[in-house]
Structure 1
Amino acid sequence: MPSSNLFVGTFVHTTHLGHLEVLHDHIVAVDELGFIEDVCVADSLTGASYLARPEATITSLPQGSFLLPTFCDLHLHAPQYLYLGTGLHLPLMEWLNAYAFKAEEQLDQDPNGLARMVYTRLAERLIRAGTGAALLFGTIKEETNLILADAFQNAGLRGFIGKLSMDKSTRPSYVEASTESSLTSAASFIHRCEGLTAHLPKHQQLVEPVITPRFVPTCTDELLSGLGQLSADLNVKVQSHLAEARDQVDWVKSERGVDDIEVFDRSNLLTSRTIQAHCTFLDSPSLDRLKFAGTAVAHCPLSNVYFSSLPFPLREALDIGVGVGLGSDVAGGYTVDISTAMRQAVITSRIRDSARKEATRQPSHGASSSETGSLAIDWKEALYLATKGGAEALGLKTGQFVRGAPFDAQQINLVDPKSGKGLGQLDFFGTVDRVTIEFLEKWWCLGDPSNRSAVWIQGKKVL
């Protein structure tokens, strides 16, 4: 009989958008490879048989604690962690020139020193924030991105690593030499990144390469078309920025004569393998276009406040079935903690809904969301975006506790298991006999890293 790691206690997950499930007094059995073998009620014949296994390792969750799937961050600029929380007063294109390009070039000039330090600390910080998988923009230099992949693999963290492709730049010293060299480097990076973990069993391969045209202003049509072909030939994911900010949108329109969604589409980069960040300037037909293509959106509500004059039409995208997850957008967003993105997503959606009601003078008192056509999302929907929504966008089976899924989980303690007192901002209440919806909402609003005591990725404890 194979050995199992048995987790006994309360489990919380979102099985689908808007539906939160709390599994009290359950067992999640995890096999030797880190996959969920079974989920069952502890006080059942099946549960008893698991608990009777002499070789089983049992982890019993303390009272007032629960396991939650790890978060997914769908949009993070890894080298920009170097200057987190800097220069957010500037418009996007000016900010890129003043800070982003310089920082990325700085890491490319010192990959084994500065870059390795920044990326190692970033991986550690993400794990402490409960993130189990991140989709990352890197720099233009292959070696620096291989160090990023290595840092995430060594930390036991899932990393989707994007070597930037950009054959145009407003910074002459930070650009690839030609379209041909950019395409050659992208293909080379894909093979070298895959080679980093080729010696490991499939379930231990935590990093993979992602084709990453920075955005339309830094890529010629020839480069974009070549990257689209490369993605199709090698079946590799694609990430970029789409319709993010007014200055960027106007730049593309004046230079190419069409919107950037058209440029991506004609380059075969708007596919089911693609995740596009922001999308704040997309109208309804454009959202339909994403739905038809199977392209997912990395919703970054915090950075949108700083760099976009429009919010992302989240409710409309969800209602037509566009895949959406959340992104921190470091360093356009000033924190790697996806909890901030969850809260900001709800805040932004409520502001949108209130503005619409004021504009139309539509009565809201006593009316249901279906009657008012509410644009708001609630905290349960935001939790879905942070976990299962992000996992689906990345093609992962994580994000919920079901048989066959990788065991990617974080332990949340509402109270200190030793003293019984509330932890962090939850210190205003004591004993928690049962994890209720009310307590979960309190944690969602007020929780911080002090409430997180452990993180597992693919069954391995990394925090």
Structure 2
Amino acid sequence: MYFRGTFVQCPNLGELEILDDWLIAIDNSGFITHFEPAQSSRSIDVRRRHQPIILPPGTFFLPPFNDLHLHAPQFLYQGNGLDLPLLEWLDKYAFKAEEELDRNPTLARMVYRRLGQRLVKAGTGAVCLFGTLKGETNLILAEEMQSVGIRAFVGKVSMDISSRLTYVEPSSSVAIDAAREFGEKLDQNNSHSRALKLVHPVITPRFVPTCSDELLQGLGGLSDEKGWRIQSHMAESSDQVEWVKKERGEDDIPIFEKHNLLTPRTIQAHCTYLSPSSNSLSQQPSSKDPFIHLQNLGTAIAHCPLSNIYFSASRAFCLREALEAHVKVGLGTDIAGGYSLDIMSAMRTAVAVSRIREGERMERVRQGSQSIDANRSGKPLAVDWKESLFLATLGGAQALGIESGIFKVGAPFDAQQIQLFDPSKKLGVGALDFFEMEMENTQNINEFRGCLTTEMVEKWWCNGDERNRDAMYIQGIKLEGS
């Protein structure tokens, strides 16, 4: 398969590349074998032998989005139930929905099938999923993600402590055995080739308040034995942080670390109550910065700005500080703690929250209570749209440990095809308007080639939606429904 056209990507934080008139070749296994300007000598040779599909002007390929944190069963009530503090919300809404799907596999399949379809529509090519307690229900989730064709890390939730007596595993040993059984069964069922093995198990202790030390220790050992990835929640809300400190006498970081659950394979969601002044460190008395500590451990963070507004309202995630410490950071929707399944919403919210943080910092500077330097680099606390696009694409891929997120030889061809402007109609697509181009007298569609600008991509970032998404490709395969 061969395409010729415009490619957009973020190879580094804050850097946007618009590669106009490039040629890409994808082999039968879905890997990129050639990626160069269409007028290079090797590209010309390829074009002599093969006829590429030419993207129309105003259209480009972009790496798909990566959602690092999503509770699949909570998609059942997406958009409802955001009226309580975190621990109360879990008991009233989250546990109830997860228990319902564990009882009703028909409903579970319906919910998970629709979830997969919605993710494709939203441009999400890879997702890290929390499931439920029951292994069979999580296998349904894995089957539906494999069927829709996106990359998925599926986690059977582990918890031997619960405020809901009907939704808990009977002991730590039972929970550890169940996690092992689910992961092995998923690996066994997933007998696809390397190219098509899209779904993987992920060790999933829900969070410290629902897991005994014995369970955490066993799950850390299981991950180390199997090489499976790990996901959980860390320092999400004030009530959760206070509960852990009161009951365990420590903060989340030392608890997870001593059980071997902060590793280069780990993604921790939220981390809103971590800051460079935190002392939540294990066996590192010389360090006062938990972000530097997480970077040293290789642990990634899933930043979920929308749900943080609801459940961490008094504290915003220190995104700029985490990035300056070179922590791997990506974005998550946190359905249903966040109400939007669209990573574009997460990007926009992340920028908005960071701008509020910067405004608050500048106010402290004006009042003389803080120096002008925001952090160790002196950069403002605000992030811009290009930085958020990096987090949604390559940043998220790096956190997941997948080779997606950028177009290069040897990487899988994962892409979303975005159309901003229709030259034949001389109109923007969906909610986008480009008045200067509409006024052009151009009659030849080819004269619109090379028209894509940074400003046009920014306009899509601000106002675009699924109407601009013409297609989704994962591992070289065009997904149905895209």
Normalised to the residue count of structure 1, the TM-score between the two structures is 0.95
Query: How many Å apart are 1:428 and its aligned residue?
Result: 4.9
In structure 2, the partner of 1:259 is: 251
1:281 corresponding residue in structure 2? 273
**Other-structure match for 1:397:** 403
SS at match of 2:428: coil
Tell me if structure 2 keeps the 8 A contact 1:413–1:451. yes
The 1:151–1:262 alpha-carbon spacing in structure 2 relative to 1, beyond 3 Å, is same
Deviation at 1:178, TM superposition (A): 1.1
- Structure 1 residue ranges (4+ consecutive) displaced by more than 4 angstroms after TM superposition: 367-372, 430-433
* Amino-acid identity (%): 55
Residues in 1 aligned to 2:378 and 2:227: alpha-carbon distance in whole angstroms? 43
Residue by residue over 1:171-192, the C-alpha shift from the partner in whole angstroms, topping out at 9 and shown as x without a partner, is 0111111111100000001100
Q: Which stretch shifts more, 65-74 or 281-290? A: 281-290
What is the one-letter code of the residue matched to 2:394?
K
Measure, in 2, the Cα distance between the counterparts of 1:372 and 1:232.
38
Helix, strand or coil for the counterpart of 2:10?
strand
Tell me if 1:349 matches 2:354: yes
Tell me what 2:136 maps to: 143
Question: For residue 398 of structure 1, what is the amino acid of its counterpart?
Answer: S
**Aligned twin of 1:22:** 18
Quick one: which of 3, 6, 10 aligns to 2:6?
10
In the superposition, relative to structure 1, how do residues 377 and 52 fare at CA in structure 2: closer, same or farther (>3 Å)? Answer: same
Are residue 340 (structure 1) and residue 345 (structure 2) matched?
yes
Paired residue for 2:296?
292
Q: Give yes or no for contact 1:149–1:207 (8 Å, CA) kept in 2.
A: yes
Q: Deviations over 1:344-394 (max 9, x none)?
A: 11111111011011012189xxx9999953111111110000000000011
Residue 383 (str. 1) matches residue 379 (str. 2) = no
In 2, Cα distance between equivalents of 1:294 and 1:368: 27
Partner Cα separation in structure 2 for residue 51 and residue 196 of structure 1: 40
* CA shift digits 1:285-304 (9 cap, x unpaired): 21122111100000000100
Pairing 1:233–2:239 present: no
Of the three residues 190, 198, 204, the one matched with 2:183 is 190
Q: Distance in 2 between matches of 1:378 and 1:188?
A: 44
Q: How does 1:31-430 map to 2 (within 5 A)?
A: 31-54=27-50, 58-111=52-105, 113-198=106-191, 200-284=192-276, 285-308=289-312, 309-361=314-366, 373-416=379-422, 418-429=424-435, 430=437
Cα deviation for residue 160 of structure 1 reads 0.3
Q: C-alpha separation between the residues in 2 aligned to 1:310 and 1:59?
A: 49
Q: Which ranges in structure 1 are unaligned for 5 or more consecutive residues?
A: none
Structure 2 CA distance, aligned partners of 1:244 and 1:32?
Answer: 43
Counterparts of 2:457 and 2:414 in 1: how far apart (Å)?
19
Q: Which residue of 1 aligns with 2:452?
A: 435
Q: 1:453 & 1:339 partners in 2: Cα distance?
A: 16
| d(CA) in 2 for partners of 1:327, 1:25 | 32
How many residues matched?
Answer: 452
* Contact preservation (8 Å) 2:121, 2:466: yes
How far apart are 1:60 and its partner, in Å? Answer: 1.0
Q: Residue type of the partner of 1:409?
A: A
Q: Which amino acid aligns with 1:251?
A: W
CA contact (8 A) 1:166 1:218 kept: yes
- The answer to whether the Cα contact below 8 Å between 1:69 and 1:401 also exists between their aligned partners in 2 is yes
CA contact (8 A) 1:150 1:196 kept: no
Offset of 1:427 from its aligned partner?
3.3
Distance 2:137 2:423 in 1: 42
Q: Which amino acid aligns with 1:71?
A: F
1:452 corresponds to which letter in structure 2? Answer: R
Partner deviation per Cα, 1:386-420 (whole Å, 9 max, x = no partner): 00000001111111111111000001100236523
Q: Is the 8 A contact 2:153 2:200 kept in 1?
A: yes
2:282 matched residue in structure 1: none
Distance 1:228 1:388 in 2: 27
Equivalents in 2 of 1:369, 1:7: separation in Å? 44
Change (3 A) 1:419 1:279: same
CA distance in 2: counterparts of 1:313 and 1:295, whole angstroms: 16
Q: Secondary structure at the match of 1:277?
A: strand
Instruction: For 2:386, give the aligned amino acid.
Output: K
The CA deviation at 1:131 is 0.4
TM superposition score normalised by structure 2: 0.91
Compute the displacement of 1:87 (Å): 1.5
Q: Which amino acid aligns with 1:439?
A: M
- Structure 1: which amino acid aligns with 2:239? D
| Aligned residue in 2 for 1:453 | 470
Cα distance in 2 between the residues matched to 1:337 and 1:122: 12
Distance, in Å, in 1 between the alignment partners of 2:361 and 2:18 is: 34
Separation (CA, whole Å) in 2 of partners of 1:396 and 1:348: 28
1:283 shift after superposition: 2.4
CA distance 1:134–1:353, change in 2 (3 Å):
same
- Residues 124-169 of structure 1 show CA distances to partners (whole Å, capped at 9, x for unaligned) of 0000000000000000000000000000101111110000000011
Q: 1:417 to 1:31 in 2, by over 3 A?
A: farther
Letter of the 2:366 partner, please give it. R
Mapped contact 2:361–2:374 kept (Cα < 8 A): no
CA-CA distance at 1:421 after TM superposition: 1.3
- 1:91 deviation in Å? 0.8
